[in-house]
Amino acid sequence: MYKHFFKRFIDLFLSFFGIIFLAIPMLIIAIAIKCDSKGPVFFKQKRVGIHKKLFPILKFRTMRTDTPHDAPTHELSDPKKWITKVGGFLRKTSLDELPQIFNIFVGQMSIIGPRPALWNQDDLVAERDKYGANDIKPGLTGWAQINGRDELEIPVKAKLDGEYVEKMSFGFDCKCFFGTITSVLKHDGVVEGGTGEMKREAEEKEKEAAEK
């Protein structure tokens, strides 16, 4: 009952009031973006939705307009050079994700779920197929986001998404929601271009220990 009715009701309820209460903060962010750099306020990008159906995700623009459009941040050479000053703050605080409340309101996304993959991230989509994680709505935040976020390698991220599919419930969604608030306040897992950073750090520590 929760998966097929109450989850959507909660998404609709919270996104509706979120649009109302966040209207002024989002307007302030929009003005800051326009003052900081040339280009549109919002950034649209094709993402993979439920049953692998593509949809346009909304974000506040955090990068220069000449940034390669469909490349994941971790595949860019020196990704920080493409990020604007305001964009750096928005990404660090995850405020760039706020416009996705509109995606949630129209039913393309959920508040909690696997983060939507880029349309060309075939490796992540294929890994999620193993766990049925492509058969639920993607989320604004999820289980993987509070367990490593940008630092996770794709197989680990997909496995955590699969774990979410198995444990999906009101209580588990609350755990992900409040865990996200903690992660955002602590800036956990935010590494520009840092997919797999946890593994690399572990390997570096092992190498240093071996050299001593």
> Can you give the pLDDT at residue 39?
92
> Can you give the pLDDT at residue 196?
52
> Can you give the pLDDT at residue 71?
60
Per-residue pLDDT for the chain (212 aa), expressed as one digit of tens each? 898 899 999 999 999 999 999 999 999 999 999 999 999 999 999 999 999 999 999 999 998 887 766 666 656 666 677 899 999 999 988 899 999 999 999 999 999 999 999 999 999 999 999 999 999 999 999 999 899 876 789 999 999 999 999 999 999 999 999 999 888 777 665 555 555 555 555 555 555 555 55
> Can you give the pLDDT at residue 76?
62
Q: If you search the block for the tokens 């995606």, which residue do you land on? A: 103
C-alpha to C-alpha distances, 84 to 13, 34, 127, 157, 212, nearest whole angstrom: 33, 11, 32, 27, 41
> Can you give the pLDDT at residue 90?
94
CA distance 137 to 106: 12
146, 184 contact by CB (below 8 A): no
93 token code pair: 């605080």
> Can you give the pLDDT at residue 49?
97
> Can you give the pLDDT at residue 63?
87
97 token code pair: 């994700």
